[in-house]
Each structure stands twice: as structure tokens, then as C-alpha cells.
Structure 1
């Protein structure tokens, strides 16, 4: 298909303290479908970060003094900009990440929708106690400056809500996108800088810097950043937590998952296979909340394996700019090599069947054919580890209690699902699963008016909802003595935490 925008795209600029700037250092950004450079991206220096922090600290107090209504209006304008440029941002996302263009468009739209959802969350002034002695209120105050660090699988849908939550709570924010997928995020910053008036979005309130792992290290150690909101791997999250300890930064960590899906024996297999396949192989399996382990009752096991195998073989693997493609490449070489290593380790397991895929595609790029693994059990890497690629093990169970026990026997606890025609029974079983987010008869997908996050080693804290927004704030108790009628009416009028 013809390119709707210039190829290669222009080198993007960073948005630092209200100015769009280039950098002396540049790094190529590869298209994982072609292994050719899309363009180059700037590499921020430590001085660039210092300027961003100084700009954020200067802009934040005035922003914090604005009402939630005013801040929500600005978020709405920022969302409008994303929608107005959906085609350009989606094209960049596909070029740098590899996902099909339809999925990239959906990501841009969901990013805009997430900003609006966060802007609709109320943060009321709460009365803890009110009696003859007086009143005790609980309010929430902004933290100051939040550093947001995002991964390479869904760059915009993870960046936009972090920015929105920080701003809605009255903070300034500095975003660092993943070094392999910085382009759409940087372009988002350029568009906001060019199309939103400085009266609405004060200079310095948002900065977007690109760079390698050293930039993330500088952010977590910087004394001028009050919190890190991080999405990424468990091992990287541990490093963020350790590095943040020196300044007692607050942290929200959305980390990896090894999400189980349990199929009860009453499911209608043909009707659920499309959703199961999408939940496991959407974004080529590179989704933290995606299905990583599929448990099927022994009575339906072979039918499930056959149906999922057929779906995997029918998938169209290729460059995401091709409208017929349903499964794109793995995003980067390191992950590509890791997934292939997991498949080879699986192949060596006695009695295991690989019923679809099981190999790299012959075409240029980081392509792996959608892979179905049957007759596998816990104690193998493909089951115990998060694959984060187009590979799905299907496991057999005899009783529901057994399935729940095995699903819970993991160091991860991000998402989980139960599939059944008995919805009430499904809800009961879902409540027994050790995960931060569970579904009945679906898997994958959330909105930012709901709290999302994991338990165990899948993370700390939540994003979205009142819980997530107030994690970007500090609670403050105000003890008010009994007052006269006039003062009391003024106190009662205090509804929001400003």
C-alpha cells in the first residue's frame, strides 16, 4: 500500500521545558517488519533532563492552583489533538512497533479516550468525621513532578493515561518512551506544543524526552522528580524501585503477567475461539494482560487444541502496513531471540506437541509464526515464564479446583479469565483467582475509569479510577474545630481537594 506520510518520517524533536529541541546524539529506530531504519530519534542528555525538571517545577504550582474542571478541559483538548492526527500517529506506531495499522489506529483512539475517562474522575473532599467537636476532612494534594516511563508494546495507550493522570491530579509530568518506539510519543508532544495554547498547557508542564536506559536511570535518581510511574518488565521494575529508594520516590509499577484463562466444560468452543485467539495473539502476544496460559477441561481439551490450531494457521503474518495482515512482528531483536529460545526449549520437552507454528517466518523481519503448544504442564519455561510473543501453551485439567490452584501457582498476578455459559459460576471462580483484574467470558481490555494493576510480582499500585489518580497525590487530613454558622456554611462548600 502507498505510504500516507513521508518515508522516512522527519526526525522528531523532544519537548523540553516548553521548547521543541533536537539533540546532537541520534539513534536509529528500526522497523521490525523490514529491519530498516524508520528514521532517527534524539538522545537526551542529563542536562536535557535537568532542564525538563526545572521547567516542570516552575510550571507545576500554578497548574495545581487550577480547578479540576479547568485541568479536565485541557485534557480534553489534548485528546482532540490525538484524534485529529490519528492517521499520522497510527502510521508512525505501525512503522516503529510493527502492529497492524488497524490496531495502531485503535491505540490512538483509545489513548484519547483514556485521557477523557481520567478527566471524568471525581476527587472529592471527604469528610471522615463530623460531630459537635468539629469536622475532620481528607483532601488530596499533588505530588509535584511525575516521571513516566513506558514500554514498546503499546506506546501511546500507556503514555497518554500516565500523562493525563499526572496532570489531572495537579502535577507536572516528564515522559520517557521506550528507546525502540519513541517516534509516535515524540510526535504527540510536538503536536501538543504546536496546537494547544500556552494558557491552556503552560510551558514546562509536560516534557517528552527520548533516550536509552541511562535516561531512565537518571530519572529514577533525580531529586526533582517526586514519583515514577513505570510500565515494563518485572526485572526492570525492581531496578526502578531500588533506584527510587534513595530519594523516597513514590512508585507505581505495572509489570509483567502470565495470565491464565480457564475454559469450563460447558463452553461453546467455536463461538469463543476468536476472542481467545485475539486475547492470546493480539499484538503478536506482546501484551501484559494477554492470555499466556490456556487451561481446558479434559472433556473438551482436544477440541480446544484443534480449534486454536486452526485459528493460528489461518492468521496472516506480515508487515502491519498491509491491510490483510492480522499478526505483525515481534518488536525488537532481543525479544525475538528470547521467544525463539523458549520455543526451542519447549521442543526438547518429552511428549509435547507443537500443533501450529513453532518457527520463525522465512520473510525478513522479526516474524514468528503463531505457535500452539499442547500436552505441556507447569515446570516448563513456556508455562512458567511470561512469553510475551506469539506462543500459547494449552494445558489440560480434570477439576475446577485443580485449575484454579494451578492458575494461582505463579509469581505473577496481573490478569485472569474464566469462560463458561454459567456466568454466575464464572464470577464465583473469577473471584478465587489471584490477579488484580479478572474477566468472565472475555480477556484483555480495560477503561481508565477502572483501576488496573497487578498483585504479587506483577506490580505495585493501580492506574486509572479514583485509586490510580490519587496515587499521583498525597492524602492530607484537616482537623477543623466547631465553628459558627457562617464559617460552617463556608466549610460545607468545600467539595474538592483544591
Structure 2
């Protein structure tokens, strides 16, 4: 009997393991990496809690060694997507009306499974399938994903506590319902934590979900789906559906019962989904909630008072960790001419020290970019810069796909703040620097603010407090996450809620209660304790 108030304790962030040589977690991870390299995994669809196989399959490869096949995954077609919609609808009522503390328990248990007995398995799958070093895998698939699973139930609890005022004789209250339909989730390759959050955040609030994982992150996403099932997730609540985007759009996005869309990916795809929903708006049972985090062209803006060593560190780590494939990665920088002579040699030395190669070699900072399409796209930008009279590739620029999809950490020096690689999203280890005359600070701030359509992350480096205030005000809409004397990457759940606006998304901050509000629908209830029995008002007694 649920006749008591249950409370989720305030969570703390999952501690990051160091993976030092011969540490227990290092030995366990290396053993698991070898095991997965020698195994062959078959990844099915999961619909209504059951494994489903189709006639269409694709290979799962290692980006750092594209001839090495880790396994295969099955691809959902129209019939399987329709089955998943039916499964989500069949599970919806019981899931929505399950006491919230029981829903929360499932995801809290999943966090403990993830950070406990499955830690090495999940980290290894992320490293091999998405080409991450052990630290990048740890902060993604272990720590951030566990944080989402622990903080979001707490945020929901705090939302559910919020109730309206009542007056004498009246009891007002609010119920927080799930949406009137299912939620569609399309998730990216670069963070398994995002994949896990995009499907679980709506589910925690009582929604059922159709989850389309990225084709280049299927393995780690599948292992997380297995953890959810082991934690007790009822059948049909989340349906795991690797598939073609066109099929997902045709069947799922167009379905009248789609009540929400949770997305991380390219701006172009989100724009097309938004347009599709608009064209189809009269056919939906309810107006769909559209939540998206999309592209970015993230900046570092330095003032002449900046600490040169801190600035150099941010330029390298902010641009080249995980091969620049973070939504928040620094890809453009504005440096004053008075600092450039100090920054350049330090930058050259730091970039020269960056190691790149196999994920199983824990000495490497960088690994491979995700696939051939990404490799070719990045190479095209680098070749464009090499051939342009308006830019110079001053560091790196090498691209080699003979074994894996490797792109060297690359620094381009642009002659104008509107050069192509200062404006367009590349999503690779390419940093473009514009060196501005110190006297043109105002003009350069204007260029930084207006050069791109994006508004995701950005950073200012300065020791002069007045300069920090001035730059922050000038760039107030240029970044949804703004950093002072730090690189523009590494947002932590519960500490820096993540998201941007402009063409970077709807800014429904992941890792905060704001995001959870999008997956609930209030019902306000007024109960009159002593109902009136008359049909007249006091003012009507005038004679």
C-alpha cells in the first residue's frame, strides 16, 4: 500500500576512476577489451521486451581498425516500427500509473548495475565501437550516464512536490501526467550517456519510448538497454530500434500518437523533423513536444590579459579530446595579436605532444573519427583550407584511413573571422584561429557573435574582471553554456545543465529539471470541500 511519502536522496556525481597503470579498473578494462575484440556480437531489436531479428543486418566495426568486425546489428523496417508503436501504446497506461517511486527504483538500480558489475563491459564497448580512450569512455558511458539515472529521479521528485495554493473550503492540487502518446528518441554516436538520457528521461516521467540509436553507437547502446531490462524495466516501455532514419520518420514521426520527440544530432535533421511535424500537425492527438540539442560552432575568446598557459591547455583539450567530436568542442578561437607570439610556440609544442592511435593503447589522447563519411567530410575542410589564400594550415592536417579513420589534430590560421572553417560545423579535430588586432576588440566580439548560426558553448579567457564582464555581455546569446577561464567542454550533470539555442537547439537543459518538465502534462484539480447550494450572490440582496 502506498500511503507514505517516499524521498529520493539528493544524488552526488559518480566519482571518475583514474585508470592508472595496474589499477584494478585498468586491469579489468584491458581484459574486457580483449574479450570483446575476440567475440562476435549479434544485436537484435528489442520490441515489447523481446528480441526481434530481421532480414537486414549491418556490421559493427572499430573506427580505429575498420577491418575489425565486432558484430552485426539488425535493422528495423516498417513492420517492426509499427509493432514497436503498438507495444509502446499497450504498455503506456500501466507504466504511467505505476507509482513514481517504483519507476524511479528501476533507473536507480540501473545506475548501480552500470557503475558496478557492468562498468568494464560498457566502457570497453564504448571504446571499441565509438573510438574513445579510457578517460573519455569513463566520463561518458559510466559517470555521466549514471548521473542522469540518479539526478533525474530526484528532479522529478522535486517537480512532483510543487503544488498550488488552496483557500478555505477548497483543496487545489496538481497531478503530473505523462504525455498523451509515446515519445520518439533519436540519439547520436558521440555520447552513449546522451543516448541513455534521451530515452530514459521521458520514461521516468511515465512515458513509453521508441528509441532509434545511432548506427555507429549500437553496441554500447544495446548493452545499456540490457541493463535497463535487468533492472526491471517493463516490456514495451522503451523499445530499441536501430533503423533507417527515413523509415523512422515515415512511420514513427508521422504517427498520430507521437506526443514528444527527444533528439540530439545535426541541425539539418532537427529542422527537417520540425518541418515534418508542422506539416502533419492536424493529424496528431496532441501537440508534440519537440526537444533538441543540435549543432555547434563553439568558441574560445581570449583577451590580452589571458593566462597564456591556461589558454593553450584549453585550446588543445577543448578542440582535440575525443577527436573534436563533442557538440561542445572548441572549433574556433579569437586571440589578440599581443598574445599570439606567446601562444603559438606553446600551442605547437602541445599539439606535437598529442598521441593518436589504437584505443587499447592507454597512452593515446586521440583515437579515430567515427566513420568514413566523417573522415571524408573533415578531410574536405582541411583540403579547402590548404588550397585557400585566406587561410594557412599551421599544424597537423594529415588524414590517413588506411587502417582506421585517423585525422591529425589540425590548427588553421584564418585571415578573416568569416573564413569557412570559422563558420561551419566540422565535427572533427580541427581548430581555426583568427588573430585580431588588440584595438579591434569590439569588432571581433561582434564577429564572434554573428559569424555562425549556432549558440551552444563558448569560453572567455581573461584575468581582467572588467574585460570578462564586457565579453560575457557581448556574447550573452552566443552560448547556452559559457565558461570563464576554462575550455568549453565537460558539462557535468547537476553542475552545468547543458544545451544551447539559436541553431543549436531548444535549450531544454539536459541534466536539469528543465528537461523533465517537457515530458509531463499537468492536470489541475479543484476539490470543493463544502459545495455551495445557492444560485445567488450577496450583492443581489439590494432592495
- Give your verdict on TM over 0.5: yes
CA–CA distance in structure 1, aligned partners of residues 465 and 40 of structure 2: 49
Residue in structure 2 matching 1:415, options 448, 457, 469: 457
CA–CA distance in structure 1, aligned partners of residues 266 and 187 of structure 2: 10
Tell me the residue number matched to 2:340. 301
- Give yes or no for contact 2:307–2:461 (8 Å, CA) kept in 1: no
Q: Aligned with 1:204: secondary structure? A: coil
Tell me the residue number matched to 2:210. 174
Shift of 1:95: 1.8
Q: Which moved more, 1:22-31 or 1:39-48?
A: 22-31
CA–CA distance in structure 2, aligned partners of residues 33 and 310 of structure 1: 25
**Which protein shows a greater Rg?**
2
- Give yes or no for contact 1:14–1:190 (8 Å, CA) kept in 2: no
Tell me the residue number matched to 1:379. 418
Tell me the residue number matched to 1:34. 65
CA–CA distance in structure 2, aligned partners of residues 190 and 120 of structure 1: 23
CA–CA distance in structure 1, aligned partners of residues 522 and 336 of structure 2: 47
Q: Aligned with 2:455: secondary structure? A: coil
- Give yes or no for contact 2:446–2:474 (8 Å, CA) kept in 1: no
1:127-166 aligned at under 5 Å gives the runs 127=163, 139-143=175-179, 144-154=181-191, 156-166=192-202
CA–CA distance in structure 1, aligned partners of residues 298 and 397 of structure 2: 21
Q: Residue 401 in 1 paired to residue 446 in 2? A: no
- Give yes or no for contact 1:140–1:470 (8 Å, CA) kept in 2: no
CA–CA distance in structure 2, aligned partners of residues 344 and 183 of structure 1: 33
CA–CA distance in structure 2, aligned partners of residues 402 and 113 of structure 1: 41
Q: Aligned with 1:330: secondary structure? A: coil
Q: Aligned with 1:44: secondary structure? A: coil
Q: Which digits, 9 at most, give the CA deviation of each residue in 1:302-347, with x for residues without a partner?
A: 3223322322221111122211111111111111111111111111
Q: Which digits, 9 at most, give the CA deviation of each residue in 1:447-494, with x for residues without a partner?
A: 33354222111112413322110111224444x366459xxxxxxxxx
Judged with a 3 Å threshold, the aligned counterparts in structure 2 of structure 1 residues 294 and 136 are, in CA distance, closer, same or farther, namely farther
Residue in structure 1 matching 2:234, options 202, 207, 221: 202
Residue in structure 2 matching 1:212, options 244, 258, 265: 244
Q: Aligned with 1:124: secondary structure? A: helix
CA–CA distance in structure 1, aligned partners of residues 507 and 413 of structure 2: 35
Q: Which moved more, 1:226-235 or 1:374-383?
A: 374-383
Q: Aligned with 1:389: secondary structure? A: coil
Q: Which digits, 9 at most, give the CA deviation of each residue in 1:90-132, with x for residues without a partner?
A: 2222222112233123212121122111121121354556556
Q: Which moved more, 1:231-240 or 1:65-74?
A: 65-74
Q: Which digits, 9 at most, give the CA deviation of each residue in 1:248-286, with x for residues without a partner?
A: 432111100011111122222123423331111111001
Q: Which digits, 9 at most, give the CA deviation of each residue in 1:406-451, with x for residues without a partner?
A: 2111211111111223467535533442222212122212233354
Tell me the residue number matched to 1:489. none
CA–CA distance in structure 2, aligned partners of residues 160 and 431 of structure 1: 35
Q: Residue 446 in 1 paired to residue 456 in 2? A: no
Residue in structure 2 matching 1:278, options 293, 303, 317: 317
- Give yes or no for contact 2:110–2:227 (8 Å, CA) kept in 1: no
- Give yes or no for contact 1:259–1:290 (8 Å, CA) kept in 2: yes
Q: Aligned with 2:109: secondary structure? A: helix
Shift of 1:135: 7.0
Taking structure 2 as the reference length, the TM-score comes to 0.82
Q: Aligned with 2:490: secondary structure? A: coil
- Give yes or no for contact 2:396–2:410 (8 Å, CA) kept in 1: yes
Let me know the Cα RMSD of the aligned residues: 2.4
Tell me the residue number matched to 1:71. 103
1:74-153 aligned at under 5 Å gives the runs 74-83=106-115, 84-109=117-142, 110-121=144-155, 122-124=158-160, 126-127=162-163, 139-143=175-179, 144-153=181-190
Shift of 1:181: 2.1
Q: Which ranges of structure 1 fall in alignment gaps of 5 or more residues?
A: 486-498
1:254-273 aligned at under 5 Å gives the runs 254-273=293-312
Tell me the residue number matched to 1:12. 43
Larger relative contact order, structure 1 or 2 (CA cutoff 8 Å, min sep 6)? 1
1:297-446 aligned at under 5 Å gives the runs 297-350=336-389, 352-361=391-400, 364-397=403-436, 398=438, 399-409=440-450, 410-422=452-464, 425-426=467-468, 429-433=471-475, 434=477, 435-442=479-486, 443-446=488-491
Q: Which moved more, 1:203-212 or 1:362-371?
A: 362-371
Judged with a 3 Å threshold, the aligned counterparts in structure 2 of structure 1 residues 422 and 60 are, in CA distance, closer, same or farther, namely farther
Tell me the residue number matched to 1:490. none
CA–CA distance in structure 2, aligned partners of residues 165 and 15 of structure 1: 19
Shift of 1:137: 5.5
- Give yes or no for contact 1:92–1:183 (8 Å, CA) kept in 2: yes
CA–CA distance in structure 1, aligned partners of residues 474 and 173 of structure 2: 36
Shift of 1:85: 1.1
